[in-house]
Amino acid sequence: MRRARLCLLWVASAASACLPARGPRSAAVDAPALNPVRGPELPRGGYTLFPSYELVGFCGTPGAPALGELDGNLPAKAKKLESYVAKYAGGRPILPVFELIAVVVQAGAGSDGKYRRRVDDRVVDQYLGLAREHRGLLLLNIQPGRSDFLTEVKHFEKYLVQPDVGVALDPEWAMKPKQLPGKFYGQTTGAALNEVAAYLSFLIAQAHLPEKALVFHQVNGYVVKDEDALNPLPGVVMIKSVDGLGPKHAKIETYDYLMRHMTAGVHPGFKLFFDEDQRNGGTLMAPAEVLALLPQPEYVMYE
């Protein structure tokens, strides 16, 4: 199992205060229409992510350098991110992304048996301040363990009503009962992703927000079941970020394989790893090589 270095769906119901009661498919298929009233804009202007921008980002969480660049010394890491952003300049304007792993999967069950740890609000505040200093987006990455995506996303609602905060979901760490992180690949469903999209769409409509990114990282074909059920909703930009690691040819093969099936309205993304991609004599793919992929990734993230 990759990333054995572990620092180490509450399905939306009729009782939810944020989603109206519906039939069996409920919020997965319906959301309130966006209010035409214009509210706050994106950090670098406008209301739409694509095709207005190319997203380029780093990820991480405090005290865990194995999980990405954004683990500490944030001003220096932000400066490094800006240098990578510059490498992608020339096509669309670039919008920097700071992807904070806000719910971190754990090897131990914890007091509630959920095998995950939420970062404190002060950590989110710190990373949001960094993103705003650099006129970028903050994405809250969720590794839910034995919890579920919607429960964990709702925990951060006070941030998600901000115009510059979105969500990234990591299905390989969405464990079934009795599964242990690091020993099994987790899995989610298109319906579960739709629940999150519906919740975000509701917040966007209520607060007149610009579009929000909803990223799901996908390492293989197993971790997202019933992907054809995905239903992009008003204001929510779904991004399928291919998460394979290793040498260039393997990453490209994984990308080509997972991009053969793309639901209408879902956008392509691609993830690179500073360490794993360069092991055993490998080299990190250059921006020109990344942008040569078909379809061209609209979100490029470095871990």
Each domain of the chain, given as residue ranges in start order, spans 49-302
> Per-residue pLDDT for 126 more than 90?
yes
User: What span, in angstroms and rounded, lies between the C-alpha atoms of 199 and 204?
Assistant: 9
Q: What is the mean pLDDT of residues 271-280?
A: 90
Q: How many alpha carbons fall within 13 Å on the CB side of residue 116?
A: 23
> Per-residue pLDDT for 251 more than 60?
yes
Beta strands in the chain (DSSP E): 54-60, 94-105, 116-118, 137-142, 165-169, 188-189, 212-218, 224-225, 236-242, 267-272, 299-302
pLDDT of residue 245: 84
Range in 101-115, 214-228, 271-285 the model is least confident about = 271-285
pLDDT of residue 201: 98
Q: What is the mean pLDDT of residues 216-229?
A: 96
> Per-residue pLDDT for 254 more than 70?
yes
CATH code that applies to domain 49-302: 3.20.20
Work out the pLDDT band at 20, boundaries 50, 70, 90. very low
Cα dihedral angle (13, 14, 15, 19), rounded to 10 degrees?
80
User: What span, in angstroms and rounded, lies between the C-alpha atoms of 116 and 106?
Assistant: 5
pLDDT of residue 267: 98
3-state SS class at 241:
strand
Beta strands in 228-287 (DSSP E): 236-242, 267-272
Burial class of residue 59 in the structure, from the number of CB atoms within 10 Å of its CB (0-12 exposed, 13-18 middle, 19+ buried): buried
Q: Which residues contact 178 (CB under 8 A, 6 or more apart)?
A: none
Range in 18-22, 60-64, 90-94 the model is least confident about = 18-22
Contacts 24+ apart (CB under 8 A), 26-31: 26/198, 27/194, 27/195, 27/198, 27/199, 27/202, 28/191, 28/194, 28/195, 28/198, 28/229, 28/231, 29/194, 29/231, 30/198, 31/197, 31/198, 31/201, 31/202, 31/205, 31/233, 31/234
Work out the pLDDT band at 91, boundaries 50, 70, 90. confident
What angle, 0 to 180 degrees and rounded to 10, lies between the N-to-C axes of helices 121-133 and 74-87? 40
Which tens digits make up the pLDDT trace of 57-87?
999 999 999 999 999 999 999 999 999 999 9
Question: Which of 95, 99, 116 is closest to 60 using CA atoms?
Answer: 99
Q: Are strands 116-118 and 94-105 parallel, antiparallel or unpaired?
A: antiparallel
User: What span, in angstroms and rounded, lies between the C-alpha atoms of 82 and 88?
Assistant: 10
Number of helical (H) and strand (E) elements in the chain, helices listed first: 7, 11
